[in-house]
Structure 1
Amino acid sequence: MSRSKSGVYFLVILAMVFWGFTFVAFKFANLSFRPITIVFFRLAVSIFFLFGFAFFFKRLNKIKLKDQKWFLLLALVEPFFYFLGEAYGLTMVTATVGAVIISTIPLIVPFAAYYLFREKLTPMNYLGLVISFGGVLLVVLTRSGGLAADWKGILLMFVAVLSAVSYTMVVKVLTEDYTPITITAYQSFYGLLMFVPLFLIFEIKHLDFSMVTGQSLLAVSYLGVFGSGICFILITIGIRELGAAKANIFGNLIPVVTAIVSYFLLKESMPFMKILGIFIVILGLLLSQISSLRVKPKKGRESVRHIPNA
């Protein structure tokens, strides 16, 4: 593995670790704010961070008129539909269960990537995915073998999953012409515009600043800077350099991180099955990376491989 490729893997893993913390951060933010309010402030924080970073380092590309539709579609699937599903879903399920459902994204992305971009996974990649997901299930299984979660919350979390898969496919198109920070900044900007009507109509009347704490403000800030800023930049680099399917394989790390953080901060239980599941997830991820992803682009579109930069 080349040094530059190792660096990309590190960035993708870092993104998953940061994202693992977001499920716990949401629980703290939800003590003071309603779901849409959390998303609204989260995106507002991310916009200030992203555009400030982009202007300072001169990494912001001008969007071509013909690509506006792709940026609008990107914002529609994520953050708009994704955060609607995730934010309301997390009010009905635990942080760990929510993270586990989100971790099914890598199981769906390869099929979408194959259909759209002819990205092919080897049998070892698929074996790693299956083993990893088996470990994910162990993280949330009860002693009786059941999964304690509200079905409505689960359904909403799967809305987020399908939105994230769609996001990955659109990002694959945009990385050919735009830097990761450009994509992430405009994605957040258009997403915020979509949430403005919902915030003004349904949420602002419920905003009670007397309920706001330093802890909840810190949680929202983390969600904005890391969850909607740095993480999206890092995963966009990963998708560009590794391909959509292989970059998203690491999504199974998210519930592992969430389970550990939830144990310490939210006092969620950590029985033996959860610990075993964590090790199985890591084993599956290692197996999935043994064989290289073979990419066969569709005619008329070349596979993109650039030197990583934001």
Structure 2
Amino acid sequence: MQNKTLQYYGAALIAMFFWSFSFVWFKVAYIAYEPMTVILIRLSLSAVIMFAVAKLIRKLQPIKREDIGWMILLSFFEPFLYFMGESYGLKYVSSTVAAVIVATIPLFTPIAAWYFHKEKLSWSNFIGLLISFMGVSLVVFDSSFGLDASPLGVALEFIAVLSTIGYAIILKKLTGDYNGYTIIGYQNLFGVFMFLPFWLIFESSLTFQTPFNQEAFMAIVKLAIFASILAFIFFTYSIRHIGINKSSMFINIIPVFVAILAFFILGDRLNLQKMIGIGIVIAGLFLAQLKRKKRKNGKYPVFQA
């Protein structure tokens, strides 16, 4: 059972690692292509790959008529609304600012999870979340704790935050009847049709005039495979087994991954403050996963993951 629990937590951690890369890949893709073009290519690739794989391994399930509306609403929250907020937000704020805003998701998710699914959050979970968020702040802010960011960019990133919470609530409902391959395949397919009219109106002519850029296009391919397919498979698996709250808590580690990736890939500086922040985030995440459990004699409470 302990191994299974580690497996569920590991799945959430891997999902966050892949999503952390997306902050870097988006910036690379923007070298040549506009946000909606990046999203449309990404979703189209991921939908084709997901349906092909699901069909090949016989994991594709038919959608029940009564669940079509829920599946469309799922796709509206993510990828449509989330990508609208995140992608355009990244044009106005840095990756690190976007990452810290995304890290607020676990602070809001428990309220929605309690209201819709009656999931409980213990005091140790709540304190762990606050500690983890303090660590995130050390990672993304400078030594003077100044933050100079576009209000529009911040607002757009918070739209992404709210859409992620809505997505997680509906995803929890659908995971009882459908596997991850089916959910991800259809959410990306519906997402393509939601973005297509906007792309045709605002970006199609510009896209056809843009010369092919191999580096930018490969970044989109990576977004499709790792961020739109594998990350969602692992996250869906985690939510199915440990719930919305515990899975979403790992979102706080995304800014940590972003800082580390920026150090190795972009050459950004990883100073002592950031390293301390990383340690605090990890400690907070560990505390957030603890739950109180009484010994058999009822005298000494212990904490278990």
State the TM-score, normalized to the length of structure 2. 0.93
Matches within 5 A, 1:37-48: 37-48=37-48
Aligned to 1:239: 239
* Paired AA for residue 159 in structure 1: I
Matches within 5 A, 1:261-280: 261-280=261-280
Deviation sequence 1:152-182 (CA, Å, 0-9, x none)? 1111000000000000000011011111111
Is the 8 Å Cα contact of residues 33 and 210 (structure 2) preserved in structure 1?
no
Is the 8 Å Cα contact of residues 19 and 254 (structure 2) preserved in structure 1?
yes
Q: Secondary structure at the match of 1:207?
A: helix
How much does 1:278 deviate? 1.1
* Paired AA for residue 164 in structure 2: A
Comparing 219-228 with 139-148, which one deviates more in the overlay?
Answer: 139-148
* Paired AA for residue 97 in structure 1: V
How much does 1:70 deviate? 0.1
Is the 8 Å Cα contact of residues 54 and 60 (structure 1) preserved in structure 2?
yes
Aligned to 2:300: none
| C-alpha RMSD of matched pairs (Å) | 1.5
| 1:35 lines up with 2:31 in the alignment | no
State the TM-score, normalized to the length of structure 1. 0.91
Matches within 5 A, 1:102-141: 102-141=102-141
Matches within 5 A, 1:1-310: 2-207=2-207, 211-291=211-291
Aligned to 2:296: none
Aligned to 1:299: none
Distance 1:232 1:32 in 2: 26
Distance 2:22 2:222 in 1: 8
Is the 8 Å Cα contact of residues 141 and 147 (structure 2) preserved in structure 1?
yes
What is the aligned-residue identity percentage? Answer: 42
How much does 1:2 deviate? 2.2
Larger Rg: 2
Q: Secondary structure at the match of 1:143?
A: coil
How much does 1:209 deviate? 6.3
Is the 8 Å Cα contact of residues 38 and 220 (structure 1) preserved in structure 2?
yes
Is the 8 Å Cα contact of residues 28 and 216 (structure 2) preserved in structure 1?
yes
Deviation sequence 1:96-148 (CA, Å, 0-9, x none)? 22111111111111110011111001111111100000011111212222112
Is the 8 Å Cα contact of residues 93 and 150 (structure 2) preserved in structure 1?
yes
Is the 8 Å Cα contact of residues 95 and 262 (structure 1) preserved in structure 2?
no
Is the 8 Å Cα contact of residues 124 and 291 (structure 2) preserved in structure 1?
yes
Distance 2:79 2:292 in 1: 31
Deviation sequence 1:57-113 (CA, Å, 0-9, x none)? 111110001100000100111111100000000111111221111111111111100
Q: What runs of 5+ residues in structure 1 fail to find an aligned partner?
A: 294-310
How much does 1:12 deviate? 1.0
Q: Secondary structure at the match of 1:41?
A: helix
Distance 2:88 2:244 in 1: 27
Aligned to 1:306: none
Q: Secondary structure at the match of 1:148?
A: coil
Go from structure 1 to structure 2 and tell me whether the alpha carbon gap of 1:226 and 1:209 turns closer, same or farther (over 3 Å shift).
farther
Q: What runs of 5+ residues in structure 2 fail to find an aligned partner?
A: 294-305
Distance 2:209 2:41 in 1: 13
Is the 8 Å Cα contact of residues 75 and 187 (structure 1) preserved in structure 2?
yes
Is the 8 Å Cα contact of residues 98 and 157 (structure 1) preserved in structure 2?
yes
Distance 1:173 1:150 in 2: 36
Distance 2:224 2:148 in 1: 29
Go from structure 1 to structure 2 and tell me whether the alpha carbon gap of 1:292 and 1:228 turns closer, same or farther (over 3 Å shift).
farther
Tell me which stretches of 4 or more aligned residues in structure 1 moved more than 6 Å: none
